[in-house]
Chains A and B, each alone.
Chain A
Amino acid sequence: MSDRTSSNAYWQANLRIIWICLAIWALVSYGFAIILRPLLSGIRIGGTDLGFWFAQQGAILVFIVLIFFYAARMNKLDRDHGVDE
């Protein structure tokens, strides 16, 4: 059953990475860009505030970073658990 335990540990590690990434995903889009925008309104950028930047550019850039971060972490995780292709 060592196979089963290892694959379980692999899955739990995967879920943990997903939770972290999705927390950041929600924070930059629903958080900074919409709900928390008033809190960030003091930070000025290019004639407007930081929340506007997140809504129109920042969130998209963070999304890209998140996917490549996830892909890299998962490649390492795949190798560590011996399930890579």
Chain B
Amino acid sequence: MSQFTLNLIFIGLSFAVYIGIAIYARAGSTAEFYAANRGVHPVMNGMATAADWMSAASFISMAGLIAFTGYDNSTYLMGWTGGYVLLAMLLAPYLRKFGKFTVPEFIGDRFYSGTARIIGVICLLIISITYVIGQMTGVGVTFSRYLEVSNSTGLWIGAAIVFVYAVLGGMKGITYTQVAQYIVLIIAYTIPAVFIALQLTGNVLPQTGLFGSLNNGSGKFLATLDKVVTDLGFNSYTGHHKSTLDMVLFTLALMIGTAGLPHVIIRFFTVPKVSDARLSAGWALVFIALLYTVAPAVGSMSRFNLTTTMWPGAATGETFSQPAVSLDQIQNDPDKAWMRNWQVTGLLNWEDKNGDGLIQYYNDTATTGPAAEMAASQNLQGNELTTVNNDIMVLANPEIANLPGWVIAIVAAGGLAAALSTAAGLLLAISGAVSHDLIKGAINPAISEKGELLAARISMGVSILVATLLGLNPPGFAAQTVALAFGLAASSIFPVLMMGIFSKRVNKQGAIWGMLAGILSTLLYIFTYKGWFFISGTNMLEDTAANWLFGISPASFGTIGALINFGVAYLVSNATEEPPIEVQELVESIRVPRGAGDAVAH
């Protein structure tokens, strides 16, 4: 059976399961549509949250980022997990006690202001739509790679599938579908990692393999990896090379961004009790950690395997003890077939610049050290592995390690599960904001339950269409989009929610001006370096560390935006009147768990 048929079978089977669940669990009422009737067990909810949270970026991209940078990109690992501590302690239990359906609803009630609610809706829409465009792009790329269709065809197939189960199912359908998707994606991520950890270190667990010793007796895996990459002129894998300040701010922006993402927060409205909201955050992190503690092993081992493919001597740490891989081997050896497959996509490429029949992979900007000496003695004209896209590492990993075809097919299904589950969760947050907060909350409060449900489904359909159209011609998006979504969530939603719970003094003026100051300063900073609305060429300053204010990268600025939000809200609130007494009583009541059962729809 060909690899293509295998991929098709695995992807088709997993999709049949998702759509079947969505149809079986079809939502009947608005309450079910938004919050699954509050009947979801914390472990189930944790699993669904994990699937919701781990997108194509976590599944496909993150390990590759770690692979080529090493220690410095640990910020992703800590940043995308540490936010759950903040959620469990600072937001989730109180928002569940509040007992409404959406984030803007809380903002509107706590700050007794329709304006605050509308600003909340706008922040939420900007965050979710930018995020969903990135997901749809990921869906398109993965579909086209594995179904061997064009990128735009892949994108439309993906859009149709998201539409079917998100629009029909609502939260209840999505919750159980996402449980299934979590199971698919975690199996897909773990199986190749276990195989590779066994091959390299003899450890079954990738987590211990990372810190274990190589099977071939050449010492600790990480020590060998460090030696091999520095021999080739690259930065050491475990060393600290980036600015400490920027690492701290970037990690913090990802953490508070996580805690401010509306589609993650909305999850904690769906548990039966306040104490379950705390537990749900814990279970979500357990299920996320199953992938996040495997990711550094996947990253480092794929880097090692790539390097030993290029330099067979590197397997024992003596990189230059054997000649580099030859052009003939790459073009003909069966175990190098993955290189030829990926060359077709344009994401991997090589060129024998000096015509010696060998492909030497090294850092050609290093002027001293073993790599420079080797380059001089072999008369090299530059690095001959000309293109290695970070994003191919996870998908190519099983092929690099020569794992069987069914493992590759599972990885394909897992990557799609990751992208689709996040897209669906985001669409639900968007449709809730439009139908519940915008239409029912502001434009037409008399709308019937049926009308509201219809509006929710129409807004989902429109969002999918917009995201797909933008995904067809992404204006250089992907990583920037994700960074913007996190920075914006960090600078707008998180501070206003936290102050609404932990301060009785912050009033409506404080919340409104705080949100505006936070989100606008962050947008301004990002657009200055990335171009207005991400249109390339319209940036006012070049996006390099030398231009950044105090060396703070645009992706890290969400932390500063959050501080601005807190500061402005505090000052404005203290200069204006106290919130009314009934609002202060509302704050008192959300701080205690008792009485959370009586959730109301208005």
Is A71 touching B279 in the complex (CB atoms < 8 A)?
A: yes
Return chain A residues, CB-CB under 8 Å to B241: none
Contact among A46, A70, A82, A84 with B89 in the assembled complex (CB-CB below 8 Å): A70
Contacts of B71 in A (CB 8 A): 52, 55-56
Question: In the complex, which residues of chain A have a beta carbon less than 8 angstroms from the beta carbon of B592?
Answer: 7, 10, 81, 83
The smallest C-beta distance from A45 to any residue of chain B, in angstroms, reads 6
**Contact in complex: A57, B207 (CB < 8 Å):** yes
From A34, A47, A67, contact of B85 by CB (8 A): A67
Stretch at the interface among B51-59, B214-222, B350-358: B214-222
Q: Is B273 an interface residue (CB 8 A)?
A: yes
B492 to chain A, nearest CB (A): 21
Q: Which of A60, A66, A78 contacts B293 (CB 8 A)?
A: A60
Q: Are B211 and A64 interface neighbours, CB within 8 A?
A: no
- Chain B hits for A14, CB < 8 A: 591
In the complex formed, the residue of B with least CB distance to A47 is: B220
**B596 contacts A74, CB within 8 Å?**
no
Q: How many angstroms from the CA of A80 to the CA of B389 in the assembled complex? A: 56
Name the residue among B84, B247, B292, B592 with the largest chain A CB count within 10 angstroms: B592
- Annotate A37-64 by CB proximity to B: 1 below 8 A, 0 otherwise: 1000000011111001101110111011
Interface stretch (choices B75-83, B161-169, B363-371, B474-482)? B75-83
- Measured between beta carbons, the chain B residues less than 8 angstroms from A75 are 275
CB of B330 within 8 A of chain A? no
Is B450 close to A, CB under 8 A? no
**Across the interface, do A53 and B82 meet the contact criterion of CB distance under 8 Å?**
no
Contact B275 A74 (CB under 8 A): yes
B594 contacts A53, CB within 8 Å?
no
Contact A60 B77 (CB under 8 A): yes
CB atoms of B238 and A52 under 8 A apart = yes
Residues of chain A contacted by B81 (CB below 8 angstroms): 59-60, 63
Q: Verify B282–A60 contact, CB threshold 8 A.
A: no
- Docked Cα-Cα span, A43 to B331, in Å, equals 46
Flag if A56 contacts B210 (CB, 8 Å): yes
Flag B251-265 by CB within 8 Å of A: 1 or 0 each: 110000000000000
CA gap between A66 and B251 in the complex, in Å: 18
**Contact of A63 with B251 in the complex, beta carbons under 8 Å:** no
- How many residues of chain A are within 8 Å of chain B by beta carbon? 42
Q: Please report whether the interface of chain B is mostly helix, strand, loop or mixed according to DSSP.
A: helix
Query: Measured between C-beta atoms, what is the minimum distance from A72 to chain B in Å?
Result: 9
Q: Is the CB of A46 within 8 A of B211?
A: yes
Residue from the list A34, A47, A74, A78 in contact with B244, Cβ < 8 A: A34
Q: Which residues from 280 to 315 on chain B have a C-beta closer than 8 Å to any C-beta of chain A?
A: 281-282, 285-286, 289, 292-293, 296
**Inside 8 A of B89's CB, which chain A residues have their CB?**
18, 21-22, 67, 70
CA A59 to CA B207, docked complex, whole Å: 14
Mask of A16-29 contacts with B, CB within 8 angstroms, 1/0: 00100110010001
Alpha-carbon gap, A46 to B278, bound state (A): 34
B248 in the interface (beta carbon within 8 A): yes
Are A29 and B591 touching (Cβ within 8 A)? Answer: no
CB within 8 Å for A85 and B82 given contacts A46-B212, A46-B222: no
Residues of A within 8 A of B595 (CB): 85
Contact A84 B211 (CB under 8 A): no
Contact B593–A67 (Cβ < 8 Å): no
* Given A37-B240, A45-B211, A52-B71, CB of A71 within 8 Å of CB of B82: no
The yes or no answer to B274 lying at the interface (CB within 8 A) is yes
Residues from chain A with a CB closer than 8 A to the CB of B240 are: 37
Chain A residue nearest to B219 (CB atoms) is A47
Given the interface pairs A22-B89, A47-B222, the reply to whether A74 lies near B82 with Cβ below 8 Å is no
CA distance A25 to B259 in the complex (A): 15
Interface residues of A (CB under 8 A from B): 7, 10-11, 14, 18, 21-22, 25, 29-30, 33-35, 37, 45-49, 52-53, 55-57, 59-61, 63-64, 66-68, 70-71, 74-75, 78, 81-85
User: Would you list the 10 A-B pairs with minimal beta carbon distance, nearest first?
Assistant: A46-B211, A47-B220, A55-B74, A47-B223, A47-B222, A67-B282, A71-B278, A56-B296, A83-B592, A48-B238
Given A46-B222, A84-B594, 19 further pairs, Cβ under 8 A? A18-B90, A25-B82, A29-B78, A46-B220, A47-B211, A47-B223, A48-B223, A55-B77, A57-B210, A59-B82, A64-B286, A66-B85, A67-B84, A68-B282, A70-B278, A78-B593, A83-B592, A85-B274, A85-B596
